[in-house]
Amino acid sequence: MKISVIGAGYVGLTTAACLAQVGHDVFCSESDLEKLAKLEAGVMPLFEPHLEDVINSVRKAGRLCFGSTEEAIAWGEAIFICVGTPPLANGDADLSAIEEVARMIAKHASGYRLVIEKSTVPVQTGGQLQKHLSVHSKNGLSYDVASNPEFLREGSSVQDFLHPDRIVIGVDSPRAEGLLRQIYEPIIHQMFTCPIHANCPQRSQPVFLATDTNSAELIKHASNSFLAMKISFINMVANLCEVVGADVTKVAQGMGLDPRIGAAFLNPGIGFGGFCFPKDVQAFIRIAEKSGCDFSLLREVEKINQHRVEHFIEKIRKELWVVRGKKIAVWGLAFKPNTDDVRFAPSIAIVKALLAEGSVIRAYDPEAVEKARVLLPDVTYCADAYQAAEGADAIVVLTEWDEFRKLDWTRLATLVERPLIIDGRNALPPQELAAHGFHYIGIGGVAATPEAVQSLARATA
Ligand code: UGA
């Protein structure tokens, strides 16, 4: 099918590349001309595992082109809207980019178009789109509007697109449903060449759920808000563990074994960040408020999350006593591993606060340095985790990159001024580090000291 994708952010680029990968002819537009030029020149504007390879291969096969919004509107019978919906000051989603695209479709398109909202939008946006298209259409446009929320995680978006658990569509006509089924047919039946694994192990067929547009829109916000609630819940349990002397990893393990709860998203830490959860929880609260439903539960989720940064800094203060003048090695700046995204990352707030208290920050992140540099110009950026640790009074882990787990602890111990690790993600092995002379402090009562490891060794000898 001829498909257009409007907006080449994480969602738009992944959608365009993966739809081309499964056999469609895709045109992807981007209004930021600098970004567009990069894409046309084969330069990736963001880091996302596997995405560059997929884009290169589908472009070579002639199934993906980049260009202007007008060209995209003229190209596809189905048009996916993947533009940004950033938060406004009052927490509402800013829908101006969506409105602008709708206006352009109404102005430039003729014949039939299936207009699909993939960007995360408040419930009833589909209805507004319908109205807007009908008011502004000029050239005898006929159309359907559908919702098709994305459930892509940054860092594994190609995997999530090609091997989803579910595909949700919100449609109000059989024609729209038929077209969306046709678009997703290769993915529903897992009939395509997987660019990630030659003998792809994940070939289970996703559930294809068709609902009305309002319900599909709500599924997206409700899913993200629920996951954020799970994280805030375990973060409160972590606080309790610290006070009463329990270990949150054991508590989470015990809870997660109940299939009704599930083990995923029970990792405590410095709070959820990124461009989805913080803004989606805010937007969902506003949607509920405007509809007369007091969703105060989500206000608590937000409040708990906002307090994570201060809670973590307090841990650092407690250990360093005086923060001013101390050298702190920061490992990880991205809001989570396998991405270079630092938007709403708790790491940024933590580093800003530590700088404001007068500490000297030497930071390392495998991918996010370029983007962090813009927000944190007063940090010394290092080539690797070892370099960041040189002369450090404390190492602080803010993103759980896999490579941090595989370091040479003996070498690390020779580099630091004081062997202290404060791990905001419970990412490193406490006992192993303590055996190498480090005092390790994690989240939720996870801790280890060289003395405790030695006395345990003596007791078992
Ligand atoms: C999230 C959802 O997981 C996707 O399903 C959704 O499509 C996407 O938002 C979106 O709306 O576009 P993403 O923001 O990429 O995806 O990242 P997550 O893996 O969900 O992590 C979000 C934040 O929660 C990160 O800061 C992460 O460190 C934190 N987190 C996650 C925890 O603190 N603990 C956990 O147990 C899990």
Q: Could you read off the pLDDT of 309-337 as tens digits, one per residue? A: 999 999 999 999 999 999 999 999 999 99
pLDDT of 157 over the 80 cut: yes
Measured CA to CA, the distance from residue 453 to residue 435 in angstroms comes to: 6
- Give me the pLDDT at residue 140, please: 83
| Ligand 1 center–CA 163 separation, angstroms | 17
Report the amino acid identity of residue 460: T
Q: What is the largest CA-CA distance in the chain?
A: 85
**242-271 average pLDDT score:** 98
- Best of 277, 281, 304, 305 for a ligand 1 pocket test (most atoms within 8 Å of beta carbon): 277
Of ligand 1's atoms, which has the minimum distance to the CA of residue 270? 33
Q: Residues 291-315: what's their mean pLDDT?
A: 97
Distance CA 44, CA 301 (A): 35
Domain final position from 186, 211, 236:
211
Report pLDDT for 138. 79
How far from 21 is each of 181, 183, 410, CA to CA, in Å?
A: 17, 12, 45
153 lines ligand 1 (CB under 6 A): yes
Task: Please indicate whether residue 192, judged by its CB atom, sits closer than 6 Å to ligand 1.
Answer: no
Which pLDDT score is estimated for 202? 63
Q: Are residues 457 and 440 in the same domain?
A: yes
* Predicted pLDDT of residue 207: 96
Classify each residue of 95-104 as buried b or exposed e, where b means 16 or more C-beta atoms within 10 Å of its C-beta.
bebbeebbeb
* CA 389 to ligand 1 center in whole angstroms: 28
Arithmetic mean of pLDDT, 61-81: 97
Q: Select from 46, 47, 150, 227 the residue to mutate for testing ligand 1; criterion: most ligand atoms less than 8 Å from CB.
A: 227
pLDDT of residue 428: 98
pLDDT surpasses 90 at 139: no
Tell me the mean pLDDT in the region 169-189.
97
- Taking all residues of the chain, what is their mean pLDDT, rounded to a whole number? 95
β-strand 447-448 against 439-441: which pairing, if any?
antiparallel
Q: Domain ends where: 211, 241, 259?
A: 211
- Indicate yes or no: pTM above 0.85: yes
Residues 132 and 188 in one domain: yes
Nearest atom in ligand 1 to 228's CA: 24
pLDDT recorded at residue 457: 85
CB-CB neighbours of 261 under 10 Å: 14
426-456 pLDDT, tens digit per residue, is 999 999 999 999 999 999 999 999 998 888 8
CB of 277 shorter than 6 A to ligand 1: yes
Nearest atom, ligand 1, residue 275 CA: 14
CA 168 to CA 147: how far, in whole Å? 8
Tell me, what amino acid is at 262? G
Residues 143 and 272 both lie in one domain: no
59/69 same-domain check: yes
| CA–centroid distance, residue 268 to ligand 1 (Å) | 13
Does 225 share its domain with 333?
Answer: yes
Strands (E), 197-259: 207-211
Q: What six digits make up the tokens of 136?
A: 């502004």
Amino acid residing at 86: P
Both structure tokens of 360: 């000297």
Q: Are residues 19 and 34 in the same domain?
A: yes
Q: Are 168 and 209 spatial neighbours (Cβ–Cβ below 8 Å)?
A: yes
Shared domain for 133 and 153, answered yes or no, is yes
Going by the DSSP 8-state scheme, the letter that residue 329 receives in this structure is: E
pLDDT at residue 148 is higher than 80: yes
Ligand 1 centroid–CA 277 distance in Å is 7
152 lines ligand 1 (CB under 6 A): yes
d(CA 163, CA 325): 49
**For residues 381 and 377, what is the distance between their CA atoms, to the nearest angstrom?**
9
What is the CA(152)–ligand 1 centre distance, in A? 9
Average confidence (pLDDT) over 119-127 = 93
Averaged pLDDT for residues 246-253: 98
Please say which residue of 211, 246, 261 terminates a domain: 211
Closest listed residue to residue 30, CA positions, set 18, 46, 50: 46
276 is known as an active-site residue? yes
Rounded to the nearest angstrom, the distance between the alpha carbon of 82 and the centre of ligand 1 is 18
The count of structural domains within the chain is: 2
- Tens of pLDDT, residues 188-240: 999 998 898 876 666 789 999 999 999 999 999 999 999 999 999 999 999 99
* Predicted confidence (pLDDT) per residue in 15-55, tens digit: 999 999 999 999 999 999 999 999 999 999 999 999 999 99
Same domain for 165 and 249?
no
And the tokens for 328? 């702190």
Q: Rounded distance, CA 49 to CA 14, Å? A: 10
Ligand 1 test: best mutation among 15, 153, 253, most atoms within 8 Å of CB? 153
Beta-carbon contacts of residue 387 (< 8 Å; ≥ 6 apart): 362, 364
Burial of 187-210, coded b for 16+ CB within 10 Å and e otherwise, reads: beebeeebbeeeeeeeeeebebeb
Q: Give the domain range for residue 22.
A: 2-211
For residues 223 and 187, membership in a common domain is answered with: no
Regarding whether 408 and 284 lie in a shared domain, the answer is yes
Please check whether residues 275 and 366 belong to one and the same domain: yes
- Quick one: 173 and 250 in the same domain? no
Q: Say what the pLDDT of residue 201 is.
A: 64
Q: Cβ(267) to ligand 1 under 6 A?
A: yes
* Closest C-alpha residue for ligand 1 atom 1: 153
Structure confidence at residue 136 as a pLDDT band (50, 70, 90): confident
> Is 282:303 a contact under the CB 8 Å cutoff?
no
CATH number, domain at 39? Answer: 3.40.50.720
Phi, psi angles (nearest 5°) of residue 69: -65, -40
| Token pair for 105 | 């479709």
